[in-house]
Every structure is written in structure tokens, then in C-alpha cells.
Structure 1
Amino acid sequence: MTHHIHDHALFAAEALSPELFQAIERQGALEPWTPPHTEFPVSLCRSVAGQQLSVKAAASIWARVQTLSDQADGLLDAFHPDQHDVLRQCGLSGAKVKTLIAIAEARREGWLETAPLRALTPQARSDRLVEIWGVGRWTADMANIFYFGEADIWPDGDVTARKTLEKLTSKRRKTLRTAARFAPYRSYLARYMWRHADAPPDA
């Protein structure tokens, strides 16, 4: 299946620019999506905690957050307003702490059950997630791609994906329109762009 997606991406890229075609061709077929084992609200909290941080910094902060609970699934029980200062000491900003507490509250109210969320369309799922304080479209897109395994999400709010696609095509062309050429596998286009951005300069 991933080889079929790779061929589809190459076909779309060939009509857009040689640079984009070469970037995708160089990477080969991507690994198939693997469902995570973490409870969705915990995964959502980790995504929020790691926003705008390097992978190393995000992992360090999340490791400190995890010490608040002995069990991953019970971690959100520690996210209460009276734990605000404790969470801040883990390295989280005040806004991120407020968002984690809001996610924990949504989970306690039954908003974040995985099965009902999985039954929704990606757009409807995003619309529900962004009702939570501090959860934006970028976070919802990441949830759709990496937790629910949606194949056709283009996260235009992701600076790295958008800027990389612009660099490989044209800044004058809207990335939403460019990404539309890769439907129904736009999530894979995003993954190609992230991997290209992380590749060594001589790769």
C-alpha cells in the first residue's frame, strides 16, 4: 500500500517541480502508520506540551510531567487547577498548563472517548477538539494524522511542512492548492516534507 502511495506522490510531484519530485523520490516509500497504544487524551496532552519545542526539549519536559503519576492512563488525574504551579515547574508555559487542565476536564466529562471520536469524519473530529480551550487546528491536524491515522490531512498551519513545500515548488503558489494534487494522501505529503526538512544538507 505504501508503495502505491509513493507512486501516487511521485506522479503528483512530477507535474509540479523537479525539486519536489526528487525530494520525494529520494525518500522512497514511507513506513505504514502504526496505531499508538497511549490513551488518546494523554497523547493529546503530550502533543500540546511539545508544541514549538525541539524533540529533545519536549521529551525532557514530558518526562518531568509523567513523574506526577505512576500510571500513564492515570496521568490526567493529576491535571487540576490546584496543580498549576506543579505543572509549571515541569517546564510548561502557563497557557500549556491551562490547556492540559482543559483536556483533562474534557476527558472527565466524556468528550474524548476514542471510539466515538474515531467514528467521526476528520473535519468533525477537528471541530470537536478545537472546542477545548487552547487546542487549535494544528493540534487537531496532528491528532488526525498521528493518532487516528487519517491519510488525507494537509496541516497548512504547520510552518515546517508549508515552508518546505513552498521551497520545493513556488512561494507564489498556495500550498493548499499544491497539496490538493496529492489527495487522497495529503498526510503523506506532510510526512515527506517533515522528513526532507530534517534530512542532512547533502542527502
Structure 2
Amino acid sequence: MRVRGEEDRHGVETWAAGASRPGRPARGARPHRRFGPASSPTRARFREAPRAGKAAALLRACGISGNKVRALQAIVAAETAGLLGPGLAALPHPERAAILCGIRGVGPWTADMVGIFHFHDPDIWPTGDVAAVGCLRRLTGQADTAAVAAAFAPYRSILARYLWRIKDTAPAPADLPADLPTRTEPAPWARRPRGTAKSG
């Protein structure tokens, strides 16, 4: 049985089940991913880990590639240097993206996703997103999707969200073999956890 645990002193809310060991979620427990303030001991220990030479080995043991480990370490270094402070929210997307893309492993697509989903910028057209660009090309027959999306300014992020939704709900092509098995219910990873409300 899964029960909700108390929020620990580091500001990271954990899940515990039954008699789990103190300070450690039980096997199979799912953490609620809400991180504490930037000054919390949890973040401080993560910043210290690269200097101790332990973070890379720990992340590689989790199956993360060497390039991604180096990118994560670069992001931590950028935060420590103050590049990822609250001032980013006030910047126009091109300026914010230029700062983010200056970090190893962060490219234009990542900067666009951060702008759309973290900063909730309503007017970003993710030119590097294969799904959004491909869907708009199919719907309009136009190769220059940036020009098409310009008509939706200042709500191009909303356009991208609708295109992702269309892509996710598109029916299977009609020329599939008749004997191909089809799924009649959502995939296990797509099911909502019990007790959660459906978003509008």
C-alpha cells in the first residue's frame, strides 16, 4: 500500500510505503517531483558532488550517457554562477535562449521547450521540433512553417501545443495491414495515477 510521506527537511517531498527505511523511499515508490529552494541542502550536496568526483559515476550508473552527464554538470555550474536566476523570466525569448544555448548540451530545441513549458512564454515557434513542424507542413502543405506560424503571433506556443495534440491523437494510416494488433485502451504509462483529476 502506498501512503504519502512527510516533506523532508530538504524541501523534497517523498513517497513512502509501509516500513520503508528512514529518509529513503520504499522500493517502487514514486516521488512527487517538487524541489526545494535553490539554497536547500539537497541542491548544495548535488553541487558539491562533481567536485568530489562522485556525480559522474552516480549518473552513469543510472544509465545516463557521458555527454548528458557533462551537460548536467554544465547546467549545475551555470546555476551556481548565477546564470539561471529569476532574471531569465523577464528576458525576451531570443535573449534567454542565447544564454541557455551558451551552456554545454543545451541547444535551440531545449531553449524553446524551457520557454514554452517552464516560463510559459505564449509566443515561441519551435522550429527544431519535428512533430510540430511536420504536422503543420501536412496541414498546410507549406514548407516554410515559420512563415505560416507568424500569422499566429503572439500565440505561437499555443499553436505548437495544438499541433502536438493533433499529432498524438492522429488516427493510424489506412494502409496498415488488417491483421495488425491495435490497442483498445491507453498504454500503461499513459494512465493517470489513481486519485488524480483529469486536466482540462
TM-score interval, normalised by the smaller of the two chains: 0.5 to 0.7
* Residue 122 (structure 1) aligned to one of 93, 108, 122: 93
Residue 199 of structure 1 is matched in structure 2 by: 169
Residue 136 of structure 2 is matched in structure 1 by: 165
Distance 1:201 1:108 in 2: 46
SS at match of 1:92: coil
Greater relative contact order (Cα < 8 A, sep 6+)? 1
How far off is 1:120 after superposition? 1.0
RMSD: 2.3
SS at match of 2:106: coil
Please tell me whether Structure 1 or Structure 2 has the larger radius of gyration of its CA atoms.
2
SS at match of 1:72: coil
Structure 2 counterpart of 1:103, one-letter code: I
Q: Deviations over 1:22-46 (max 9, x none)?
A: xxxxxxxxxxxxxxxxxxxxxxxxx
How far off is 1:77 after superposition? 3.9
Please say if residues 145 and 187 of structure 1, whose CA atoms lie closer than 8 Å, have aligned partners that are also in contact. Answer: yes
How far off is 1:91 after superposition? 2.0
How far off is 1:75 after superposition? 4.4
Q: Could you list the runs of 4 or more consecutive aligned residues of structure 1 that deviate by over 6 angstroms after TM superposition? A: none
Is it true that 1:72 corresponds to 2:44 in the alignment? no
* Residue 111 (structure 1) aligned to one of 64, 78, 83: 83
Is it true that 1:96 corresponds to 2:64 in the alignment? no
Residue 30 of structure 1 is matched in structure 2 by: none
- The two structures have a TM-score, normalised by structure 1, of 0.60
- The two structures have a TM-score, normalised by structure 2, of 0.61
Structure 1 counterpart of 2:83, one-letter code: W
Matches within 5 A, 1:8-23: none
**Aligned pair in 2 of structure 1 residues 76, 143: CA closer, same or farther (>3 Å)?**
farther
Distance 2:34 2:157 in 1: 31
SS at match of 1:100: helix
Greater fraction of residues in helix: 1
Structure 2 counterpart of 1:78, one-letter code: F
Distance 1:192 1:200 in 2: 12
Q: Deviations over 1:134-175 (max 9, x none)?
A: 1001010011111111111000101111111111111x5311
Q: What percentage of residue pairs aligned between the two structures are identical?
A: 44
Deviates more, 1:89-98 or 1:70-79: 70-79
Give the number of aligned pairs. Answer: 133
How far off is 1:76 after superposition? 7.0
Q: Which runs of 5+ in 2 are unaligned?
A: 1-29, 37-41, 173-200
Please say if residues 77 and 104 of structure 1, whose CA atoms lie closer than 8 Å, have aligned partners that are also in contact. Answer: no
Deviates more, 1:178-187 or 1:76-85: 76-85
